[in-house]
Amino acid sequence: MTSLVWQQELNLSPVLQKVERQILEITAGHNKTLGGLAARIIEAGGKRLRPLLVLLSGWKEQQDWEPLVDVAVAAELIHTASLIHDDIIDNAGKRRGLPTINSTRGNQTAVLAGDYLFARAFSLLSGRRTWRALPLMVEAIEAMCEGAIEEMATLFDHTQTEEDYLSRIYKKTASLVAACCGAGAEVGGAPPEVVHARKEFGRNLGLAFQIVDDLLDFSADEQTIGKPAGCDLIQGILTLPVIYLLQNPQCGGSIREIIAGRRCTPADFAYIKKAALETAALKRAYMKAREFQERALACLASFPPGPVRAAFERIAELVTTRKS
């Protein structure tokens, strides 16, 4: 995802490299055990979407990049910390094609590795030129915790609505994406109305991103997404296509029965996946992602045309066309 910017006129490539170097310095250095564990996950990839959004949101001519780089690094560390803690919560065995920390080193080490990254992120955000990003990031972390607890509380709950789902994925994913866009603008010295518009862009982008992520969990193969397909449903997390299927007059009843049993075997998942393909459930969920993508693009209308806006538009496009 980062390569798209190199093709623009923004010359962000050296700044993104600086972000990458700093992330690796933090995770590899200082405390060898905790940092090293996180380094493996970070090196295994990830789209670096959040750092990119921070940089683009704060972009201006003749920039002093230092504070924005710090915020971009902090954003990726917070994201990684939340993934590590999420893997404990989901009891996940794989992430980005690699075994998770909890699966190889136990929950205890995973708790600490996440806490350590949170602390390093806050250290970057406590500088004189970065602290204005802090309330935004903290608010996002609170929302992420609440989203995770809601997710746990609604496992296998077939009464949840599309609205419940959207509120939950806002908290779990879109809140941090919105915070990244707002934080970049804030630290870049933008006025409040611009900060607000950037956050709104990020919120809609984040919602589109997560719906597509959930669709990939449904339809992609293990090699592409780095974890087995159907993970969400097997764990009991109901995503948008399932919520739509439950409303389907033909197959809703049988699917409700599977889910009410609070257990979804791989065979059940195959049945549900087939139903989602045959009915319009997958397509309808994809159209919902497109709707949020459109809303994100509409938020850009108030920005002056130019390479920054073009880069944002390109990111918004990629979010619904990506395959992993």
Residues in contact with a copy of itself by CB under 8 A are 30-31, 33-34, 85, 88-89, 107-109, 111-112, 114-116, 118-120, 122-123, 125-126, 131, 134-135, 138-139, 141-142, 144-146, 148-149, 152-153
For residues 93 and 103, is the Cβ–Cβ distance under 8 A? yes
Nearer to a copy of itself, 150 or 291 (CB): 150
Instruction: State the minimum distance, in angstroms, from the CB of residue 173 to a copy of itself.
Output: 16
Nearer to a copy of itself, 88 or 258 (CB): 88
- Helix, strand, coil distribution of the chain in percent, nearest 5: 75, 0, 25
Nearer to a copy of itself, 57 or 175 (CB): 175
Instruction: State the minimum distance, in angstroms, from the CB of residue 171 to a copy of itself.
Output: 10
**CA gap 115, 94 in Å, rounded:** 20
Q: Which token pair is 232?
A: 């969400």
Instruction: State the minimum distance, in angstroms, from the CB of residue 312 to a copy of itself.
Output: 27
Instruction: State the minimum distance, in angstroms, from the CB of residue 58 to a copy of itself.
Output: 18
Nearer to a copy of itself, 127 or 307 (CB): 127
Determine how many CB atoms are found less than 10 A away from the CB of residue 199: 23
Nearer to a copy of itself, 111 or 277 (CB): 111
Q: Which token pair is 16?
A: 């993104």
Instruction: State the minimum distance, in angstroms, from the CB of residue 242 to a copy of itself.
Output: 21
**CA gap 307, 305 in Å, rounded:** 7
Listed in sequence order, the residues at least 6 apart from 202 whose beta carbon sits closer than 8 Å to its beta carbon are 53, 57, 174, 177, 178, 179, 180, 181, 182
